[in-house]
Structure 1
Amino acid sequence: GEMHEIDYDFSMLIPPFAGVGLEAFDKDGKDITDKLFAPNKFLKVDADYTPRPFEEWSAADWPKTYQNPSYKNLFAVGIAFAPPHLISKPMSSPNGTPINPTPPRTGMPSAAMGKTVAKSIRDMIDGASEPTHEASMSEMGAACVVSTGSHIFKGSAATMTVYPVVPDYDKYPEYGRDLSLTFGEIGLAGHWMKYILHHAFIYQAKMKPGWTVMPD
């Protein structure tokens, strides 16, 4: 909350997380940007975007099919869809700068969403009138392995799991998550896990024998 200067050898500046700012127009040339996109420029999906205070947020607000409510042929997964709200209580620094974690929408969650939407689109091509599969972030878990050193014997990585990704205080009143499935550790085992996953992902990306049965 204070303005100051600091010396550094390396810095990383992260811009505000937002969509690319596309504009949309209907067949008559009418601007429908606000109809398709949220103020943060991400695509609106089947979420509940009704403004509410933190105390009234619900896991049910989050999308399940990732279909745009106005145009049924539009879907958005991963970082493309507009979250209905944050995943934790809004906080700020003394000078008013927002301090809020962004809902994680990459990696495992994106893979689950992508498969769900792909299956729904397949079924809709075959005749289904509505999406046939769901994958709410309030019902899925995720794992993340972050490298903190690459040495084969001295390396380390932070290994984290969280369930569900979006807190559900109706199901888990105290913390919003199942603590038996939400934890983190750091050590050499995590580094080896990251190493194995690295090669497994490349193997899968090359569509080598058995790639379809490998988990994401």
Structure 2
Amino acid sequence: FAESLYAERGVEWLIGAHVEKVEEGKLTYELLDGSKGEEEFDFSMLIPPFAGVGLKAYDKAGEDITSTIFAPNGFMKVDANYNAGAYENWKAADWPRTYQNPSYSNMFAAGIAFAPPHLISKPMSSPNGTPINPTPPRTGMPAGIIGKAVAHSVTSLMQDGANAHIHEASMAEMGAACVASAGKGLTTGTAAAMTVFPVVPDFQTYPGTGRDTDYTFGEIGLAGHWIKHILHYMFIHKAQLKPGWTLIPE
């Protein structure tokens, strides 16, 4: 339905494209088939590649341990398999479960802070060798679930020490929902409601698609708008820690 929304509003779109150069009022792009084109604009927003902030880490002796704590992309290393290699070797089990640094058990990285073992989707590139990959976000519902698991783990470490229970929340075993507004109105509002399970495809459990098709779908309509509207107030209620906030899911 995304293409329908664009078409209904007279918006043209390009997918599978890599921005090669940005100039005043114009950008040059390359498509997956290797062809190139230009797009003129009055206003644009370019989202850069996802990366950490480039922190440096040192131990008590002053030795640089940055490579032990962080991956080359700047995100923190956790209990993921960073040696999976080629796409054909990727498995759902590569993804972290506890988000705990393997070298320092008191360090965790939740949400967008952890270094993923590899891309979620199959890597793609143009005939010119330009990588053009989709980048699913790790924000929203997955980040909330991961954050909750990490918070429980930290609490247990503080209270139980060596007997602590480290909680798990693998993105290859969790589902996620998203509601995207497409227009407001008491009776005319619309929103797209989507669910995906699991977030990271598991082709061993779900051959072909990597996901459970009974729980991976989307619809658009007035019901989605009201869900979005209700969730807006529920999340504010939860953020303010008002009575019953623990009953509201991430």
TM-score band w.r.t. shorter chain: over 0.9
Q: Does 1:167 align with 2:201?
A: yes
State the aligned residue count.
Answer: 216
Percent identity over the alignment is 65
Q: Which residue of 1 aligns with 2:41?
A: 8
Q: Does 1:60 align with 2:117?
A: no
Alignment match of 2:56 (pick from 17, 23, 45): 23
Deviation at 1:171, TM superposition (A): 0.5
Task: Flag the structure with more relative contact order, 1 or 2, with Cα contacts below 8 A and sequence separation at least 6.
Answer: 1
8 Å Cα contact 1:65-1:131 kept in structure 2? no
8 Å Cα contact 1:103-1:166 kept in structure 2? no
Deviation at 1:8, TM superposition (A): 2.1
Query: Aligned pair in 2 of structure 1 residues 164, 134: CA closer, same or farther (>3 Å)?
Result: same
Alignment match of 1:86 (pick from 102, 115, 119): 119
Q: Does 1:96 align with 2:129?
A: yes
Q: Which residue of 1 aligns with 2:175?
A: 141
User: More deviation in 55-64 or 5-14?
Assistant: 5-14
TM-score normalised over the length of structure 2: 0.82
* SS of aligned partner of 1:80: coil
Deviation at 1:154, TM superposition (A): 2.4
Q: Does 1:192 align with 2:242?
A: no
Letter in 1 for 2:91: S
**1:74-116 residue CA offsets vs partner (Å, 9 max, x unmatched):** 0001000000011111012344332222343111111111111
8 Å Cα contact 2:176-2:197 kept in structure 1? yes
TM-score normalised over the length of structure 1: 0.94
* SS of aligned partner of 2:160: coil
Letter in 2 for 1:182: T
User: More deviation in 101-110 or 167-176?
Assistant: 101-110
8 Å Cα contact 1:21-1:41 kept in structure 2? yes
Deviation at 1:52, TM superposition (A): 1.1
Query: Aligned pair in 2 of structure 1 residues 94, 190: CA closer, same or farther (>3 Å)?
Result: farther
Q: Does 1:38 align with 2:71?
A: yes
8 Å Cα contact 1:138-1:165 kept in structure 2? yes
CA-atom RMSD in angstroms: 1.5
Distance 1:152 1:38 in 2: 48
Deviation at 1:166, TM superposition (A): 0.5
Please list every run of 5 or more consecutive structure 2 residues that lacks an aligned counterpart in the other structure.
1-29
Alignment match of 1:150 (pick from 161, 184, 192): 184
Distance 1:103 1:12 in 2: 18
Please list every run of 5 or more consecutive structure 1 residues that lacks an aligned counterpart in the other structure.
none
Query: Aligned pair in 2 of structure 1 residues 19, 102: CA closer, same or farther (>3 Å)?
Result: same
Q: Does 1:212 align with 2:246?
A: yes
Q: Which residue of 2 aligns with 1:180?
A: 214
Q: Which residue of 2 aligns with 1:69?
A: 102
**1:155-212 residue CA offsets vs partner (Å, 9 max, x unmatched):** 2212110000011111011111000000112222211111111111111111222111
Deviation at 1:131, TM superposition (A): 4.6
Deviation at 1:128, TM superposition (A): 4.1
* SS of aligned partner of 1:127: helix
Distance 1:69 1:103 in 2: 25
- The ranges of structure 1 where at least 4 consecutive aligned residues each deviate by more than 4 angstroms after the TM superposition are none
Larger Rg belongs to: 2
* SS of aligned partner of 2:228: helix
